[in-house]
Amino acid sequence: MTAALPVSPPARTPTRLAMGRFLRHRLAVVGLILLGTVVLLVLLGPVFAPFKPDDIDLLARNQGPGARHWLGTDQTGRDVFARTVAAGRVSLMVGLFSTLISVAVGTTLGALAGFFGGWVDNVIMRFVDVVMTFPSIIVLLTLAAIIGPGLDKTIVIIGLLGWPLAARLVRAKLLSVRELEFIAAATALGASDRRILLRHALPNVLDVLVVFFSLGVASAILTEAGLSFLGLGVQPPQASWGNLLSTARELTILEAYPWQWMPAGALILITVLATNFLGDGLRDALDPKSRP
């Protein structure tokens, strides 16, 4: 009989190591589960909701949660569950697309500054410094008041306010990456600056961008909620978590009809916490200096 050959353990690739670090981060796993649950709720909720978000029933005004209206109704008899689910799609869309704008603008400027250095770096970073000196909340409210409220405008405004941090993070990472040996080897082989930047340098900042994106979505959701609460974001009858919360400005609704605003507030809290936990886990998982 021939002896069985020993089975070698699976190769510990960087992806496997990162996945293992992430799965050992308990809060990150909890965050992923919570965020996945919220996403499924807002995507599949309309399939199970017995009413549409804009259906008005004046005979069912201000009803509490029950078998017919699971989370009660608002002042015009609209179903709170249907509106909260629809509002979730809007708020998550604002968080996603506004953060994509921030990442696109910040990565472009940060990559140019960090890779080329010199006067390019000086010009771009001085512009970033000027932008960051303005109080963000004042700029946000001013732009919202000038441009006007609306879903598309809210996405653009939030997206254009978040890019300076992304630019700084990308620049800092590329300043170290461009000194590595494989960049020098690509340069010696005659590769163009464009090819080196796109094919060799930028892939090494993906870890920074993934963490920024996850945390940026949470920040954008909170910003949208604040704008909509003040009446400068998403406008009724289109629902968002922020403008659902704005109904709590009336003392009567705040005290007597908590079901009209508490579900939106709870989902904002859960989504932001879950996204922050996920971002922390991704940061630790993608850090090559972390313990395997």
pLDDT digits (tens, 9 = 90+) for 165-186: 899 999 888 888 877 777 778 7
Using an 8 Å Cβ cutoff, are 113 and 129 in contact?
no
- Containing H/E element for 45? helix 26-48
Q: Residue 290: what pLDDT?
A: 53
Q: Residue 269: what pLDDT?
A: 92
Q: Measure Cα distances from 249 to 79, 136, 244 in Å.
A: 20, 24, 10
Query: What is the rounded end-to-end Cα distance, in angstroms, of the chain?
Result: 39
pTM score, whole prediction: 0.85
The burial class, CB within 10 Å (0-12 / 13-18 / 19+), for 228 is buried
Using an 8 Å Cβ cutoff, are 220 and 99 in contact?
yes
pLDDT less than 50: residues of the chain: 1, 292
The SS3 call for residue 79 is strand
Q: Residue 97: what pLDDT?
A: 93
For the stretch 62-113, pLDDT in tens is: 888 988 888 989 888 899 999 999 999 999 999 999 999 999 999 999 988 8
The SS3 call for residue 73 is strand
> CB count, 10 Å around CB of 88?
26
